[in-house]
């Protein structure tokens, strides 16, 4: 069974803290993505990576950075968390090649910044 | 940039009835994919159905079917014989077919919450 695992399901952090959200996939996928989900806004792409050490900004990259040192792991970093980053964060991965390939999602990480 | 719009924040249906969820999108591309994803309360995103833009035939997966109108840029989801387990948030999504390293991105609509009444 394919797996995208987000290690932290629920986090509460203080304003100004550095936050790491980790995502691991076991399918040898080239492409990995970080989305945030907010009511009424759907899912918005923060960053994605198409290879190890390669990344591109999505639609809302401000306040975030990412790291992909190994193919299976894609980390989202909030350098200095703010209350407007309280949200649910979804990681996803897929093969390269035809873009009709299925995209697999993790179960989400709920982040509350107080 | 591509945009996806779901104009129905909430819909409801009686068990065993049929419901249609609407989605429109905007793109200048001619080749792309469209998807419907289901997100139950567990938050695990599940692919319901996918449509390739170059195929005129509407995709069907058991009780789920789409009405794909390429010229109108419309992509609605029809759920027949609705079941209690169909209750979830449904997202429409767009993905371009080609174009460098960014082709894999999914652009999502705002979502529609579907309630199924017994």
What are the backbone angles phi and psi of residue B109, rounded to the nearest 5°? Answer: -85, -175
Is pLDDT at B19 greater than 90 in this prediction? yes
Number of domains comprising chain B: 1
Percent of residues, chain B, with pLDDT higher than 90: 75
Distances (CA, A) of B6 to A47, B29, B90: 23, 20, 10
Given this model, what pLDDT does residue B103 score?
A: 55
Alpha-carbon distance A11 to B98, whole Å?
37
Name the strand (E) or helix (H) holding B80.
none
Contact between A15 and A105 under an 8 Å Cβ cutoff? The reply is: no
Q: Least CB-CB distance to A105: which of B4, B45, B107?
A: B45
Determine the Cα–Cα distance for residues B26 and A80; give it in Å rounded to an integer: 35
Mean pLDDT for B61-88 is 96
Q: Name the 3-class secondary structure at A1.
A: coil
Average pLDDT rounded to a whole number, residues B61-86: 96
Cα B97 from chain centroid (whole Å): 17
Highest mean pLDDT among A25-29, A40-44, B9-13 belongs to B9-13
- Taking residues A4-11, report their average pLDDT: 93
Indicate which of A36, A103, A104, A107 best probes the interface with B, i.e. most B CBs within 10 Å of its own CB.
A103
Label residue A33 by pLDDT band (50, 70, 90): very high
pLDDT of residue B96: 82
Q: Out of A31, A102, A107, whose CB is closest to B47?
A: A102
pLDDT (tens digit per residue) in B45-55? 999 999 999 88
Q: What is the mean pLDDT of residues B2-15?
A: 95
Q: Is B63 helix (H, G, I), strand (E, B) or coil?
A: coil
Q: What is the CATH number of the domain that holds A63?
A: 2.60.40.10
* For residue B109, pLDDT beyond 80: yes
Shortest distance between the Cα of A17 and any Cα of chain B, in A, equals: 26
Cα–Cα distance for residue pair B7/A65, rounded to 1 Å: 32
Best of B8, B45, B50 to disrupt the A interface by mutation (most A CBs within 10 Å)? B45
Q: How confident is the model at residue A101 (pLDDT cuts 50, 70, 90)?
A: confident
Q: How confident is residue A110, by pLDDT bands cut at 50, 70 and 90?
A: very high
* The dihedral formed by the CA atoms of A24, B33, B41 and A62, expressed in degrees to the nearest 10: 60
pLDDT of residue B86: 97
pLDDT at residue B26 above 60? Answer: yes
Please give the residue range of the domain that contains residue B50.
Answer: 3-117
> Chain B: nearest CA to A83, how far in angstroms?
22
What is the full DSSP assignment across A24-89? EESS--SEEEEEEEETTTEEEEEEEEEETTEEEE-S--TT-EEEEEETTEEEEEESS--GGG-EEE
The helix/strand/coil state of B78 is strand
CATH of the domain at B56: 2.60.40.10
User: Average pLDDT of A6-24?
Assistant: 95
Q: Does B50 touch chain A (CB under 8 A)?
A: yes
Cα–Cα distance, A70 to A51 (Å, whole number): 9
Residue A68 burial (CB count, 10 A): 20
The pLDDT of residue A99 is above 80: no
Residue scoring higher pLDDT (A53 or A96) = A53
Domain of A62 in residue numbering reads as 4-113
Query: How many degrees, rounded to 5, is the angle at CA A61 between CA A16 and CA A88?
Result: 70
Q: How many distinct structural domains can be found in chain A? A: 1
Q: What is the pLDDT of residue A95?
A: 81
Q: Is the pLDDT of residue B101 over 80?
A: no
Best of A105, A107, A110 to mutate (most B CBs within 10 Å, chain B): A105
What pLDDT, on a 0 to 100 scale, did the predictor assign at position A26? 93
Residue A1: predicted pLDDT: 67
């Amino acid at each position: 069974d394919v797996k995208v695992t987000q290690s932290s399901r629920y986090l509460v952090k203080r304003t100004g803290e550095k936050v790491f959200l980790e995502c691991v996939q076991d399918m040898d996928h080239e492409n990995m993505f970080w989305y945030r989900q907010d009511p009424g806004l759907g899912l918005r792409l923060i960053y994605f990576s198409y290879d190890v050490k390669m990344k591109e900004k999505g639609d809302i990259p401000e306040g975030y950075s990412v790291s992909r040192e190994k193919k299976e792991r894609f980390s989202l970093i909030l350098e200095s968390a703010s209350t407007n980053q309280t949200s649910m964060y979804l990681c996803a991965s897929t093969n390269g090649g035809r873009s009709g390939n299925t995209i697999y999602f993790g179960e989400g990480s709920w982040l509350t910044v107080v | 940039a591509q945009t996806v719009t779901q104009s129905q924040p909430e819909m409801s249906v009686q068990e065993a009835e049929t419901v249609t969820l609407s989605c429109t999108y905007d793109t200048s591309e001619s080749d792309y994919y469209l998807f419907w994803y289901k997100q139950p309360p567990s938050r695990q995103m599940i692919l319901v159905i996918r449509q390739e833009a170059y195929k005129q035939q509407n995709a069907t997966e058991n009780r789920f079917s789409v009405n794909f109108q390429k010229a109108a840029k419309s992509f609605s989801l029809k759920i027949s014989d609705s079941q209690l387990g169909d209750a979830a948030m449904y997202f429409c999504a767009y993905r371009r077919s080609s174009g460098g390293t960014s082709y894999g991105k999914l652009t999502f609509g705002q979502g529609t919450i579907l309630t199924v009444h017994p």
